[in-house]
Amino acid sequence: MESLYVNEVIKATKGKLVKGDQNFSIKGISINSRSIKKGDLFIAIKGDNFDGHKFIGNAIKNGASGIVLSSLFSDTQNSVSVIIKVGDTLKALQDLAKYYRGKFNIPIVGITGSNGKTTVKDMTESILSRKLKITGTIKNYNNQIGVPLMTFRLSKDTRAGIFEVGISSYEEMENLGEIVCPDIAVITNINIAHMQYFKTVKNLVNAKAKLLEFVPKEGVAILNADDKYFSFLKAAAKCRVISFGIKNKADVMAENIDLLPTSTKFLLNGAVKITLPIPGIHNVYNALAAASVSLQFSEDLNLVRDGLEDFKSPEMRMQIIKTKNLTIINDAYNANPASTRAALEVLRNINAKGRKVFIFADMFELGNCKASEHNKIGKLVSESQIDVFITVGELAGLSAATAKESGFDGNNIFSFKNAEEIREKLLSILESNDTLLLKGSRAMHLENILKILKDS
């Protein structure tokens, strides 16, 4: 982050200076009192289950030079150079990020969609970082707090920014779109996700499309030509549209696709052969989205190839783990119906030595669709040449029941309440040379069973 003066913070947040010098320089922004660095400005964020105001003392003790807060506290026993009072600290964080983003006249990429955001972001960075200094989202800091914090990572050396934008409502996209203001907007795909908040698919589609409103006329919208909402999104874009796809004619296409157990081969735009070090047709789409972004910076297809082939899969996203006796496909970072179907396709296409085992946990935030969507997964499992079906959670139990009703051998279905319960019995179910797929929503903590699997 480049330094900000206190008077800039006050201007951006419409705050009131309670203590300190307007010309005081801020070296960084933090909302975490434990990881704060000396000279940082600590913003005391209030959330549904936390209140940063309780940690102001710790922040000062750990080196904070300034505090942004919405309710005053006694400063008699603490030493801090700057105190700024605002009406809403989350809004202050977002407004300051918006101001800071405006200080950089560089290309910014905003990536949204129901699935693949993190993978597309990482693939794009793997390509462009070979030529440019890239600043982007780390891990999955893509929400109302994460995006502003990632914005503060921009620096004078940055030549392009790549930001992941994750939302649960229309209003959230309004906030994040204003912060990111992308020159290039990517919508990976639109599928059922977060329906607990969106309620209807129409609301979901409109919310994703909202990002396109923040792209200038001279900017670019990158859209999936095979997505059912492509025509709607294309019409919503007021800038140039670049399409990518496999089935329908597009500007950036993959042909001659070869789905292998742990990798995928394809021909990019009829010219360059690429071997992705990650399986699944859905990852071909992710690669095409990343290629589409990268080609806006350089037309060198060999650069795209080299970046994609050097790509390292994010943890818990189609991560292949081999133990002495097992092959584990850890795709348990999160789950919705579309990503679960994609993961099942990978397991189905694998040429495994032993049995294929699907460990499936509840998919959350599906609203009124939760029962029907879990039933659909159960039906799909019965058709997917899976040998053993293990479910974790009440909703995934619906999938197990549907799979059995659809003809799956009930002797090879095992259902558990939670990840702790499955830990006790899993090894007795598994056999040597089994290939396992782990898939479920993040809150189900399927990663908790990985340790016993790795030790097996």
Residue 243, SS3? strand
Structure token pair of residue 22:
């307007």
Gyration radius from the chain CA atoms? 24
In this structure, the number of other CB atoms found within 10 A of the CB of residue 255 comes to: 10
Q: What CA–CA distance (Å, rounded) separates 334 from 353? A: 27
> Which runs of consecutive H residues, i.e. helices, occur in 80-129?
89-101, 117-128
Task: List Cα–Cα distances, 112 to 60, 137, 182, 224, in angstroms.
Answer: 36, 12, 11, 12
Whole-angstrom distance, CA of residue 178 vs CA of residue 201: 23
Position 215 scores a pLDDT of: 98
d(CA 245, CA 152): 33
CA distance 106 to 76: 44
Instruction: For residue 20, give every residue at least 6 positions away whose Cβ sits within 8 Å of its Cβ, in sequence order, or none.
Output: 6, 66, 81, 82, 83, 84
Distance between terminal CA atoms of the chain?
45
Alpha-helix residue ranges (DSSP H) falling in 114-191? 117-128, 146-151, 170-180
184-187 vs 220-224, strand pairing mode: parallel
Residue 225 tokens read as 């030509």
Quick one: CA dihedral 331, 445, 398, 227, positive or negative? Answer: negative
Determine contact, residues 257/281, Cβ cutoff 8 Å: yes
Per-residue pLDDT of the chain (456 residues; tens, 9 = 90+): 999 999 999 999 999 999 999 999 999 999 999 999 999 999 999 988 889 999 999 999 999 999 999 998 765 446 789 999 999 999 999 999 999 999 999 999 999 999 999 999 999 999 999 999 999 999 889 999 999 999 999 999 999 999 999 998 889 999 999 999 999 999 999 988 777 778 888 999 999 999 999 999 999 999 999 999 999 999 999 999 999 999 999 999 999 999 988 899 999 999 999 999 999 999 999 999 999 999 999 999 999 999 999 999 888 889 999 998 899 999 999 999 999 999 999 999 888 889 999 999 999 999 999 999 999 999 999 999 999 999 999 999 999 999 999 999 999 999 999 888 888 889 999 999 999 999 999 999 998 888 888 776
Tokens of residue 78, six digits:
């603490």
pLDDT at 78: 66
- Give the DSSP H/E element, type plus range, for residue 61: helix 56-61
Burial of 16 (0-12, 13-18, 19+ CB in 10 A): exposed
Q: Which is nearest to 355 in space by CA: 326, 396, 317, 322?
A: 326
Q: What is the DSSP annotation of 323-344?
A: -SS-EEEE--S---HHHHHHHH
The residue whose two tokens read 């229309």 is 170
Amino acid letter, residue 455: D
Amino acid identity of residue 236, one-letter, is A
Q: CA 326, CA 98: separation in Å to the nearest integer?
A: 48
- Triad 64, 69, 75: Cα angle to 5°: 65
Tell me how far CA of residue 440 lies from CA of 31, 333, 336, 359, 437, in angstroms.
Answer: 29, 7, 8, 8, 10
DSSP 314: P
Percent helix, percent strand, percent coil in the chain, to nearest 5: 40, 20, 40
Going along the chain from its start, the domains and CATH numbers come out as 4-96 (3.40.1390.10), 104-309 (3.40.1190.10), 319-454 (3.90.190.20)
- Dihedral sign of CA atoms 111, 115, 118, 120 in order: negative
Closest CA to 323 of 152, 453, 145, 219: 453
Residue 421 DSSP class: H
pTM for the predicted model, two decimal places: 0.92
Q: Residue 395, SS3?
A: helix
- Chain-centre distance for alpha carbon 340: 15
Q: Which residue has the tokens 């479910």?
A: 391
- State the Cα–Cα distance between residues 279 and 17, nearest whole angstrom: 54
- Dihedral pair phi/psi, residue 327, rounded to 5°: -115, 125
Q: Beta 4-5 vs 25-26: how paired, if at all?
A: antiparallel
Record the tokens describing residue 316, joined without a space: 């818990």
Query: Are 186 and 157 a contacting pair, CB within 8 Å?
Result: no
* Interatomic CA distance for residues 69 and 78, integer angstroms: 15
pLDDT for res 76 = 47
Strands 240-245 and 252-259: parallel
